[in-house]
Structure 1
Amino acid sequence: MTRSAVSHEVHAPARPTMLYLVKQLELAVRARLDEVLRPVSITPPQYAALTVLERRSDLSTAELARNSFVTDQSAADMVASIEERGLVSRVPDPRDRRRRVLRLTDAGRELLDRVREQVEAVETAMLSPLTTDEHTDLRRYVTLCRSALSSTPPQ
């Protein structure tokens, strides 16, 4: 190749992909939640599990795993830990007495109530650069993106 055939174009640096930005946001949220939840000795996945059970009771451990973004094995370990602390209990399934399902206990509700304001403050800080309309749009866009990649609706 001759010297004159070499391109001297200046390329702008590549922008990070949306996947990268979403992961960076997840890591930033996780770090802030770690700080908020440390005083009550629960992890963000445990917090997620408790909030799932607050919204939707009587889930199996496998169902809780799917709704809490953890593997079945991780969910089993997590449930054992929060059950030992009295934050959840296993009860007979009202639809099938041979099965046991998980329910949030009063202690679990009290723990969620203790951290609710701090967790909401993390979300408020994250959304603070956005207008109310932009916040609504972001929620809609994130929900649409999630739906495009998953066959199960968000809980």
Structure 2
Amino acid sequence: MSRPRSPANAAEPLVGVAPLVSRWIERVLAAHEPQLTLGQFLALRAIAAERLTAAELARRTGVSGAAVSQLVAALDQAGWVDRVQAVDDRRRQALALTEAGRSVYRTAARLVHSRVGELLTAFPAPEVDRLGRLLERLEHALGGAPPPRRPPPPPRKRP
């Protein structure tokens, strides 16, 4: 029987698989009509779960405020989101899916879930269940935590 992995050792396969999964999902979404970027899909997914402010969306999706502004503008222009009054603070605006946004998200999610599900059929059901539960917990932990800050650039060398 193998020894249990330490968290640091368990992180290595996650670091390796994360970009592969992202690229794979991007290709699946490119086949969806209308085509979606991974960022658009993840934003629609987060907003479908609950109304969010742009700042909350940035935290949930792990992107910068500027990137979220561009993303929200594109979703708004496509007619997939509306800005509505936040429930907890009428001075703030939250994002909500329009009917068109809900429809686009539902069809894209079905496609992604179906294709990822096909990959997972190679694994025993208990492992798939365990993986799903662990990933839900990891998403919850990461979604509530700010991403790590970038280190400052190295000092410039003077000539």
TM-score computed with the length of structure 2 as normaliser: 0.73
- SS across alignment from 2:91: strand
Is residue 33 of structure 1 aligned with residue 25 of structure 2?
yes
- SS across alignment from 1:122: helix
Separation (CA, whole Å) in 1 of partners of 2:48 and 2:63: 17
Gap change, CA 1:143 and 1:101, over 3 Å in 2: closer
State the 1:146 CA deviation. Answer: 5.9
Separation (CA, whole Å) in 2 of partners of 1:100 and 1:48: 19
State the 1:143 CA deviation. Answer: 4.6
Name 1:140's counterpart in structure 2: 133
Name 2:54's counterpart in structure 1: 61
Alignment gaps of 5+ in structure 2: 1-8, 146-159
Name 2:102's counterpart in structure 1: 109
Q: Is the 8 A contact 2:25 2:112 kept in 1?
A: yes
Letter in 1 for 2:36: I
Is residue 21 of structure 1 aligned with residue 13 of structure 2?
yes
Q: Deviations over 1:74-125 (max 9, x none)?
A: 1111111111111111112233221111001111011112223211123213
Separation (CA, whole Å) in 2 of partners of 1:151 and 1:94: 20
State the 1:150 CA deviation. Answer: 4.9
Q: Is the 8 A contact 1:45 1:69 kept in 2?
A: no
Name 2:66's counterpart in structure 1: 73
- Count of residues in correspondence between the two structures: 135
Separation (CA, whole Å) in 1 of partners of 2:48 and 2:106: 11
Separation (CA, whole Å) in 1 of partners of 2:101 and 2:55: 19
Is residue 51 of structure 1 aligned with residue 59 of structure 2?
no
Name 2:85's counterpart in structure 1: 92
Ranked by relative contact order (alpha carbons within 8 Å, sequence separation 6 or more), the top structure is 2
Shift >4 Å, 4+ stretches: 143-147
State the 1:151 CA deviation. Answer: 8.5
The CA RMSD measured in Å over matched residues stands at 2.4
Name 1:9's counterpart in structure 2: none
